[in-house]
Each structure stands twice: as C-alpha cells, then as structure tokens.
A = this chain, B = another copy of it.
Amino acid sequence: MSYQGLNSKLLDEAVSEFSKLPGIGRKTALRLVLHLLKRDTDDVHQFGNSIIKLRKEIVYCENCHNISDTPICSICSDSSRDQSVICVVENIKDIIAIENTQQFHGVYHVLGGIISPMDGIGPGDLNIPTLENKVGSGNVNEIILALSTTMEGDTTGFYIYRKLSKFNIHISTIARGISIGDELEYTDEITLGRSIKNRISFLEK
C-alpha cells in the first residue's frame, strides 16, 4: 500500500525511517510519527538526539565486549565483583536478563553471536580469541557457559570447552531443568531426564 496522501516530504521521510525498524510496518510507523507531532518540540528533539548520540558515542567494553559508555564497562571495573568468574553469553540482552536475577556476582564475556552454519556464522565471527587470552592470563578460576539450549548453543559451548580445556580452570554450564511453574507431565523427556540426573540436595534449591 502506497501513501500518495503523504503530501509532506518530512512526514514521508520520518515514516520511512520508522518502518525500517523490525516489526514496524508503515501503518504503525505513521501512528508513531503522528504521535510525535503532537508532542513537545523539545521532547522530540531529545528523542531524536538520544538516537544519534547512542549510535555515535556508545562503545563496546574492551574487556568483555558489553555495551558501555567508557572503554571499560561498569561491570568489569566494579571491584566488588569477582573478576575470576566469567559468565560467557551470546549477546547483551543475556547480560541484562542475568543481571536482573541478581544471582551472579562475577563478570561477563559477550561472544557477539553463536556458531550457526545455517546463518554463515562460524567461530571466527565470535569474540573467542579475547576469551582465550583472558583465561590464558591465569587470573580466571571458572568459566560459566550461559548459552541457549539449542543446537547452536550446544555447538558453541562444545567449541569453547575444547578451546579452554587445556587451561587449569573449572568450566560449568547453567543448569538445564524444569522451569519454575512448569508441570512435570508436559516437560519433554530430555529436559526431565537431565533434571533427574543433575538433581541437587533438597536444601540447596
């Protein structure tokens, strides 16, 4: 559907830009843009500016590849966190999810993707060499692999395990089991089997 009715180039441009975003079509884009027109000029200026600044000024932490405002991110430079425990994740969203649990007090390492031959992503496209260097420095006691329970996640986990097993460190993976609130009878056999095999002391849970 074309919009001949958009007799304003400015409007048309803004709608086109919004509809480039994932999951936003031209109708939604138009709705968002018309909403912006009703807002305060300063407000909208701030919105536009925050987008420009974000892309121009944001950097990735030199240590863990997390998003950051400074060369070393606030997690890596936090002296109260255990720098000898590194949690390996696929992307930044995983860090946010884990941070929200408030259960992890080590540091992170962002791979920037996952090994997926179908999408043409190999080990060379991921931040694995910097992880090896970190572990090789001798200051790391444990690597926690917090990857998705998919074929790609398992492949990536195995690859990293093989690369790091020569070092004298503990390599763990986050527990696979039944999600809180899930019913036993509807859980798939592999998950259920693993959760029985990897059972823990009742008082530990």
Binding site for B on A (CB under 8 A): 1-11, 13-14, 17-18, 20-24, 28, 30-37, 39, 41, 44-58, 66-69, 73-75, 91-93, 95-100, 102
Determine if A5 and B98 form an interchain contact, defined as CB atoms under 8 angstroms apart: yes
Closest-by-CB residue of B relative to A77 is B7
Determine if B52 and A17 form an interchain contact, defined as CB atoms under 8 angstroms apart: no
Determine if A54 and B5 form an interchain contact, defined as CB atoms under 8 angstroms apart: no
Question: Which 3 residue pairs are nearest across A and B when measured between Cβ atoms?
Answer: A5-B99, A5-B96, A48-B52
Q: How far is the CB of A166 from chain B (nearest CB, A)?
A: 32
Task: Give complex CA distance A53, B17 in Å.
Answer: 13
Pairs A–B under 8 Å by Cβ, sample size 11? A4-B99, A7-B73, A10-B69, A18-B47, A22-B31, A34-B92, A37-B67, A41-B55, A41-B56, A48-B51, A48-B52
Give every chain B residue within 8 A of A102 (Cβ-Cβ).
4
Closest-by-CB residue of B relative to A21 is B32
Determine if B36 and A47 form an interchain contact, defined as CB atoms under 8 angstroms apart: no
Task: Give complex CA distance A48, B53 in Å.
Answer: 9
Task: Give complex CA distance A52, B30 in Å.
Answer: 16
